[in-house]
Structure 1
Amino acid sequence: MPAKGKHRRPKSSSFSRGLAVAGTGGAVLAIPVIGATTATAAPASVHSATAVKATLAAKPVTAVKASPTSYSVVAGDSLAKIADALNVSGGWKQLYQDNQSVIGGNPAVIQPGLKLAVGAPASAAGTTSLTTATTAITVSAPKYANNLDGWIKQSLDIMAQHGIPGSYDGIYRNIMRESSGNPLAINNWDINAINGVPSKGLLQVIQPTFAAFHVPGTSMDLYDPVANITAACNYAANRYGSIDNVFGAY
């Protein structure tokens, strides 16, 4: 992305083609991408929201203050159902706020296997502590593969948190054109290079543009795949509406 002039794909690229990606295949943008993980089946030890609710009704006891724990989503669950069954203070909105980074931008869609952090239930007589109703499960951050597919997915997750538009296909297409998926790609021949600010990374971003459109929470290293991707997509959104609208040098 040019501060002055425009980005062009390096005249000769010896970019590594060995960054195979799962599923959709993968080239890597010079911008760090955040990937999503596939939901897994809920552990047998975790009750469904319906079962938990039944347990609460069957064992009325004085409320006990419980430490924050977690809940594993099963088929048929919704944030409202889970919040109601576990007597979550603040209801489904609080549950969503506490787990937005895991759920994503649509609170109406939660996949089976998702691990939701659940704070202490609201204090009220006649209810039981959450710790007696379900088995605590350690909540871990999403895992992203250290390849083009993982970088794009991770970037998309970060972009969603900041309201930056873009799709996997749009990012992948532009990365392949700009760097062939090589996060260390650098253009040493175009107008930007002549001006002393060569385009670098997966999406061939120049340093001034990277600094101006850097997304908080990502690395300050221009070569970092996820940081490079998210900054480039932020720039593209500002200038073209979305990285999906970019089909050439930008």
Structure 2
Amino acid sequence: MMSVNGRPSLPSRAALKRAIATTVIVGVGAGLPMIAASGASATPVHHNTAQQQSAELAPSAAAQASAPAPAAAQAPADYTVQGGDWLSKIATSHNVQGGWQKLYELNKSVLTAGPDVIYPGQQLALADGSAPAQAPAQTPAPAPAPQKSAPAAPSSSSTSAQSNTAAPAAPAAAAAPALSANASTASLQALAASIVPADQLASFEQIITHESGWKVTATNPSSGAYGLPQALPGSKMASAGSDWATNPATQIKWALQYMNQTYGSPNQAWVFWQAHQAY
């Protein structure tokens, strides 16, 4: 377009703006790409939602993978001590190989007071590989009575050997010395000391002294009571021996038996005698 003076006429500023706007509108309508940039090195904006979520989750998964695995729970112990238990009983009822000695060896960390003292509630291992609970730091409440380990039962072979060996016979009681009916008072009192219990002897001697004066054949002329204890009739003493009439040992044995059966003891018989002057 030429100006009036022959020079090319430049489009006006307003016309130039309209041309640019038309080009932009046409470009958008024609599907030309539009690039928005804030500078020469600006990075295009991407809207990939799936990739963004994966990137956000990746650190969390990595942290979980690197976290240490929880420690395995310790295996529980095999047995809890009950009231009235002792090691030998537990070992026998649970077939512990090696008996109570092995059971104690497995649980020394729990049975800190030794094999003879166990408490209800303690956890015991019954075999190798079990995990007994450690002894509590505080002192446990004492059981009504600590239970001792019972000794191991003797084997059948040792029992047989013991049964085949005859036990020695108990020594026979020393026989009372034989005295005649005319023995001295001292001899008769010594004989009584060998038959009558020591804590009853003084009362026994008092009764015999008052009844017969230690005369084996003493006879009461009015009643007929006879012998050291003045049995009435004298033949009662036959229950202690057929030689009752002349053997002082037989008379003393019968007198002791009579006092025990009638009064409970020579001491009680002497108390009665003092109150009644007879027994």
Q: Common fold, TM-score beyond 0.5?
A: no
Report the TM-score range of the alignment, normalised by the length of the smaller protein. 0.3 to 0.5
The structure showing larger relative contact order (alpha-carbon pairs under 8 Å, at least 6 residues apart) is: 1
What is the TM-score with the length of structure 2 in the denominator? Answer: 0.30
